[in-house]
Structure 1
Amino acid sequence: MTHTILITGTSSGLGRASVRLFSARGWNVIATMRTPEAETELDRLPNTLVTRLDVQDQASAHAAVEAGLAAFGRIDVLMNNAGYGAYGPLEATPLAAARRQFDVNVLGLLATTQAVLPHFRQKRAGTILNVSSVGGRVAFPLGTLYHASKYAVEGFSEALHYELAPLGIRVKILEPGGMRTDFGGRSLEFSNDPGLVEYQPLVESVLGVLGPMMEQGSTPEAIAEAVFDAVTDDLDRLRYETGPDAVELLAARRDSDDDTFLADVRALFEVATTPSPPTQAAGVRS
């Protein structure tokens, strides 16, 4: 029997690589994206349905599930992959970016999960793979909103796996490290106000560290292989640390106490441990 996977966020990166891999391995694939009318490659793959799903539009999630069931008769795996990253000093970040961060990474994931659960519950089987991040277990400077959303994905998934296990439904979390994708392009929004001079040394440091870190990360194709292994291993396992950098970083987090680990992160990003003297621009009183 041919299995079927529904994948969100397939217009680029890990989502796109996963569509190619699962199709090549003989799976039926429901490849979802916000603008399927612009797609020119994935809709030519065998056993692949390209359809619209905007995780900020719950009706589109239900429509995508219905389209997938009409095309293939069943769905066996949901891969919640669509993601967005809001970075920058919190003081400089618009509230709209914060709302989008949680709408996409948390509420959007919840909406697609709710859309597929009736089918999984009726057949008492299914796997939900939520793409989190190493950033759902450790946090870096200027990622306040992104890390908060990924920590939420971790808690959501851990609680849900207890809830769905008696129904024969597995929940798994993928925790990739750096990945060489365009996440730093259209999927990343960096907010900054150069007038907030106190933050600018940290902004420069973080951008100088994170860029090379991402460039040295795993390819989307390598992470897609980990996705395939996770959803086909038949194990009752919750978390999958994916990529050498993720494995190394999370091992260091487990082996260190808070003071030691936080000091190491501060050193990596050259974060000062004592405040600098206030400036006249900051409102010094004589």
Structure 2
Amino acid sequence: MKQTVLVTGASSGIGQAAVRLFAGKGWNVVATMRNPERDADFAGLDDVLVARLDVEDQASIQSAIAAGIERFGRIDALVNNAGYGQYGLFEALPREVIQRQFDVNVFGVMDVTRAVLPHFRANRSGVVLNVSSGAGLFTLPLISLYCASKFALEGFSEALSYELASQNITVKLVIPHGGVAATRFSERSAEDFVTDPALADYDDFVARSNAAFAQMGSARTMTSADVAEVIFGAVTDGTDRLRYLVGDDARGFVKARRTLDDADYVEFMRSHFRKQTPAQ
């Protein structure tokens, strides 16, 4: 029997690449997105059901899951991919913006996962795969909210994995790091960058940080398809492995987080954004 995966945030980037890969490998796919009438682009793919799912809309979550089960009989895996990165100085961010970052990246993942768990428990099987980020392992300035949301996702997923193992349900994290080239994610983050002219005290720091980000971004070589391959492998490898990193650690952030003591790690990270003293 063909297996079925439900993918959130399937309109572009990693989600879209995952839909195409799973479909190409013979899976049934429930490709979900906020605006399917505008964003769906899966012509020619067999056994792909496009459904509306907004992670901030409980009714749409329930409806999409029910539609997938009705069409394909069951759902075997959930890929929680929907999310975005809120950029901006923390002091400039209004509370409603902070709330929405968590509503999408954390509470949305929780809501979709909770909605599908009764079906997985009834089947005594299932895979919940959450797309995380290097920003859930290390932190960077100007994306404090995104980092906080991904740290929360990491902690939630790890703890949940212990609970769901008792039900023969596996939880996995795929962690892209080093940046994914040519995705809508970066464009949306730039569009959503929050500034405040009253916070001119930060101007030099913001300029340095943006320059550092530009340098990091220019080295991106990983594609959405690369991440989708890791997602597919994680869903299908039959193991209970929790974390799968994918990306180029040329900047050394992951290595620093994993190998340095806390003081040395923080100093290493700060060095990328500190004002440089001219050589004498």
TM-score, normalised via structure 1 length: 0.91
Gaps of 5+ in 2: none
> Per the alignment, do residues 247 and 51 of structure 1 end up closer, same or farther by CA in structure 2, a change over 3 Å counting?
farther
Report the secondary structure of 1:55's partner residue.
coil
Could you say which residue in structure 2 is the equivalent of 1:284? none
1:149 Cα deviation after fit: 0.5
CA contact (8 A) 1:43 1:50 kept: no
Could you say which residue in structure 1 is the equivalent of 2:149? 149
> Per the alignment, do residues 250 and 62 of structure 1 end up closer, same or farther by CA in structure 2, a change over 3 Å counting?
same
CA distance in 2 between counterparts of 1:54 and 1:192 reads 27
How many residues align? The count is 273
> Per the alignment, do residues 38 and 148 of structure 1 end up closer, same or farther by CA in structure 2, a change over 3 Å counting?
same
Report the secondary structure of 1:208's partner residue.
helix
Query: Which residue, 261, 268, 271 being the options, matches 1:264?
Result: 268
> Per the alignment, do residues 271 and 114 of structure 1 end up closer, same or farther by CA in structure 2, a change over 3 Å counting?
farther
CA distance in 2 between counterparts of 1:10 and 1:165 reads 27
CA distance in 1 between counterparts of 2:21 and 2:134 reads 23
> Per the alignment, do residues 126 and 254 of structure 1 end up closer, same or farther by CA in structure 2, a change over 3 Å counting?
same
Could you say which residue in structure 1 is the equivalent of 2:199? 196
CA contact (8 A) 1:76 1:126 kept: yes
Could you say which residue in structure 1 is the equivalent of 2:213? 210
CA contact (8 A) 1:5 1:76 kept: yes
Which deviates further from its counterpart, 176-185 or 58-67?
176-185
Q: Please list, as runs of the form range in 1=range in 2, the aligned pairs for 1:1-286 lying within 5 A after superposition.
A: 1-177=1-177, 178-180=179-181, 181-187=183-189, 189-217=192-220, 218-245=222-249, 248-270=252-274
Report the secondary structure of 2:115's partner residue.
helix
CA contact (8 A) 2:256 2:268 kept: no
1:108 Cα deviation after fit: 0.3
CA distance in 2 between counterparts of 1:246 and 1:11 reads 29
1:95 Cα deviation after fit: 1.2
> Per the alignment, do residues 272 and 124 of structure 1 end up closer, same or farther by CA in structure 2, a change over 3 Å counting?
farther
1:105 Cα deviation after fit: 0.3
CA contact (8 A) 1:125 1:168 kept: yes
TM-score, normalised via structure 2 length: 0.93
CA distance in 1 between counterparts of 2:170 and 2:119 reads 14
Q: Deviations over 1:22-67 (max 9, x none)?
A: 1111111100000111135225421101000000011111110000
> Per the alignment, do residues 83 and 195 of structure 1 end up closer, same or farther by CA in structure 2, a change over 3 Å counting?
same
Report the secondary structure of 2:50's partner residue.
strand
Which deviates further from its counterpart, 176-185 or 76-85?
176-185
Runs of 4+ in structure 1 off by over 4 angstroms are: none
CA distance in 1 between counterparts of 2:244 and 2:123 reads 26
CA distance in 2 between counterparts of 1:176 and 1:169 reads 23
CA distance in 1 between counterparts of 2:59 and 2:275 reads 44
CA distance in 2 between counterparts of 1:41 and 1:196 reads 42
CA distance in 2 between counterparts of 1:261 and 1:58 reads 40
Q: Deviations over 1:152-193 (max 9, x none)?
A: 001110110000001110000111111111212225521111
Residue identity in the other structure for 2:219: Q
Which deviates further from its counterpart, 140-149 or 161-170?
140-149
Could you say which residue in structure 2 is the equivalent of 1:277? none
Could you say which residue in structure 2 is the equivalent of 1:282? none
Task: Tell me the percent identity.
Answer: 50
> Per the alignment, do residues 165 and 25 of structure 1 end up closer, same or farther by CA in structure 2, a change over 3 Å counting?
same
CA distance in 1 between counterparts of 2:250 and 2:69 reads 35
1:246 Cα deviation after fit: 8.3
